[in-house]
Amino acid sequence: MHVYLKILILMTGLSLFSVTYAQQVDSTLITTISTDTTFNPLHTQQSGHITDSLISFAKKYLKKPYHYRPNPQVRFDCSGFSSYVYDHFGYKLKRSSAEQAEQFRKIDRTQLKTGDLVFFSGRRNNRHVGHVGIVVNAYENGKFDFIHSSNQSGIVISNSDENYYAKRYIKAGRVIEENAATVAQTETTANTPDQLSTNNTGKTEIQNVQPEPRPAVYHHVKKGDTLYSIARKYGITVNTLKRQNKLTGDKILPKQKLIITEQAG
């Protein structure tokens, strides 16, 4: 499959232009979509790519302590962390978890997707929003894994089945809508799948470049390892670890080979 993204730029006083996507599949199917928007060709990503990048960025801070400061203006309480992560991709979230809960469209728990915000009551469990996390994995049964800043453990990934959060779940909201495009504040074109070139007509083209496949990651069980300690080491949940390795119980043996992440790409 060859995918070509052609961009025709019409300069006006308002810097508006038309973007035309042309997709050719085995020389038999061509689908064209046009849209008008303010555009930075190096940093614009579709919603699926945005959420993948967003979660990867959030995971960089796993194990950082509660109230960690990535810079002097930011402090990682729960809403400070979600605000910081989304701000990196051009989305401005309000400061408190209660405000963020009212900022975005409510999503049914069974319709959750990666990148959605999930809201919980605080330690008093009074049904008022007091905590927020970002969905990492969502499952058909309404269960989910989420990354958040916990005042006990710092930046961690937790599961909705954990007793503390199961009793306190209130609602979810969607920041990144379907097929949304955003200006992502990523480092350089090394983090995007596209490269710019200029053809002999003088028009700018972006040619899709397929990323290198990511190899699978494995863990060889050592004496003293537990599913919990292994999951924390790699920033995943115990449920995810058990599901990927088809484990029905908690027993593991020294030298056992566990899948942490499967090959992607």
**pLDDT by 10s per residue, the chain, length 265:** 444 434 333 344 434 433 333 333 333 333 333 333 333 322 334 456 789 999 999 999 999 999 999 888 788 999 999 999 999 998 999 999 999 999 999 999 999 999 999 999 988 878 899 999 999 999 989 999 999 999 989 999 999 999 999 999 999 999 998 645 444 443 333 344 444 444 455 544 444 445 455 677 889 999 989 898 888 777 778 888 888 899 998 899 999 999 987 765 4
- DSSP category for residue 209: -
Query: What per-residue string of b and e applies to 210-247 under the rule 16 or more CB within 10 Å gives b?
Result: eeeeeeeeebebeeebebeebbbebbbbbbbbbeeeee
Report the distance separating Cα 168 and Cα 130, nearest Å. Answer: 10
Residue 47's pLDDT is 57
Q: Is the CB of residue 144 less than 8 Å from the CB of residue 112?
A: yes
* 150-155-161 Cα angle (round to 5): 60
Determine which one of 43, 78, 131, 219 is catalytic.
78
Residue 170's pLDDT is 97
Closest CA to 170 of 240, 85, 237, 100: 100
Radius of gyration from C-alpha coordinates of the chain: 21
pTM here? Answer: 0.55
User: Where do runs of H (alpha helix) occur along the chain?
Assistant: 47-59, 78-87, 97-103, 163-166, 227-234, 238-244
78 catalytic residue (yes or no) = yes
Determine which one of 43, 131, 148, 219 is catalytic.
148
Residue 94's pLDDT is 94
- What one-letter code names the amino acid at 61? Y
The three-state secondary structure class of 249 is: coil
Residue 56's pLDDT is 95
Q: Is the CB of residue 38 less than 8 Å from the CB of residue 16?
A: yes
Residue 156 phi/psi, 5-degree rounding, is -140, 165
What is the SS3 assignment for 135-156? EEEECCCCCEEEEEEECCCEEE
Residue 28's pLDDT is 33
**Which residues face 24 on adjacent strands?**
2, 30
Q: Is the CB of residue 131 less than 8 Å from the CB of residue 119?
A: yes
What are the chain's domains? 2-42+188-208 (no CATH), 46-174 (3.90.1720.10), 217-261 (3.10.350.10)
In angstroms, the Cα distances linking 52 to 45, 174, 232, 251 are 10, 15, 20, 32
Determine which one of 128, 131, 219, 220 is catalytic.
128
